[in-house]
Amino acid sequence: MKKIKNSGEYNKKKNRIKDIQNEISNGHSHLSKIEEELKILYKQTERYEKETMINVEYLSDKDLVDQFSKEQLSEAMKIALDTRNFEIDMYWKRATYFWAFIATIFAGYFLLVAYGNDNWFLLSLIAFLGNCFSFGWFLVNRGSKYWQENWEGHIGALSKRTTGEIFKHWLRPNYHFKELSGNYPISVSKTNQFLSIVTFVVWFIIYIISILDCPALYDVKYEIIKYLNCITSFLKESATYQIILLLIFVIILMLVLRKMLKFSKNKSAYAMGEHLKSKHKSDEFIKFKNMET
């Protein structure tokens, strides 16, 4: 199916949809003849609208909830809770899928290396495969997190009229992070995303090392090794630069941990958490106008 590239092409498709609808309503055309064309046009225009975020209206929490009657609110809340739980379940199933594949690729690569296989093309191909799966894992983590938070946003809005804002309250942790035996509200999904990035970087380095064994890149490999040896020798002789590098590593690690372990400093027994609404604005939700189903 051809993808719409610009707004001019999009407008032409929308006009064609209107023409077909007029033909059908006036009885000038048989539906069987143009049904397939109409279906393709709907899919093309809807895809373009989703990608460009045109033809949408922005809804506040109140606007979203006001769309439901009193009888529908409880059912909507149930659907949102069930879908959120489904997304969390699928998140870990997808993670397990990628863990299994990446672990298998790791095992295959290092097994070949251990048995003395020096086929640079085969090793590079395996490393490239590891790169693809690691990057795919990172993207899937982000996508899964988006849909989970999408339904958490619905829960946060709907709970105001049903259960009350119970999902915005956290039990304040009784332990500091340094007390390893205690609990602490570490973000599991952020940890998983961080690991996927690290895995991708490791595979990328392995890929570069593998491909540099190509005979055509021997000169490049020689120059890289020469510069690395110079840097290593310099660092061995200078304790000051070793300390600077260590400090840089510690600072980066602290920034990552600070991002992952950010939590409310409220001293009450229960902290008003904004984990469902941390990035929510008045135009939190969007609704596609005239979306065909």
User: pLDDT tens across 155-182, in order?
Assistant: 888 887 777 777 666 676 666 667 777 7
Indicate the average pLDDT of the chain: 76
Highest-confidence range of 60-69, 119-128, 154-163, 260-269, by mean pLDDT?
Answer: 119-128
Tell me the DSSP string of 248-282.
Answer: HHHHHHHHHHHHHT------SSEEE--TTTTT--T
The answer to whether the beta carbons of residues 6 and 12 sit under 8 Å apart is no
First to last CA, the chain: 18
Residue type (1 letter), 145:
K
Number of domains comprising the chain: 3
pLDDT of residue 115: 87
Q: Check residue 182 and give its pLDDT.
A: 72
Question: Is 127 found in the same domain as 65?
Answer: yes
Strand ranges (DSSP E) for the chain?
A: 56-59, 169-171, 270-272, 285-288
Judge whether 287 lies within some domain.
yes
Per-residue pLDDT, 286: 60
For residues 88 and 147, what is the distance between their CA atoms, to the nearest angstrom? Answer: 9
> In the prediction, which pLDDT does 131 show?
94
The domain of 246 spans 224-263
Q: Give the confidence band of 99 by pLDDT, cuts at 50, 70, 90.
A: very high
Amino acid 163: pLDDT: 75
pLDDT for the residue numbered 106? 92
Instruction: Report how far apart, in Å, the C-alpha atoms of 199 and of each of 19, 137, 196, 293 are.
Output: 52, 9, 5, 40
Say if 217 falls within a structural domain.
Answer: no
Looking at the structure, tell me whether residues 154 and 106 fall in a common domain. yes
Whether 34 is in a domain gets the answer: yes
pLDDT band at residue 70 using 50, 70 and 90 as cut-offs: confident
Pairing of strands 169-171, 270-272: antiparallel
The highest-confidence range among 136-145, 150-159, 274-283, by mean pLDDT, is: 136-145
* Domain-embedded: residue 275: yes
Residue 2, pLDDT score: 66
Give the model's confidence band at 268: pLDDT under 50 very low, under 70 low, under 90 confident, else very high.
very low
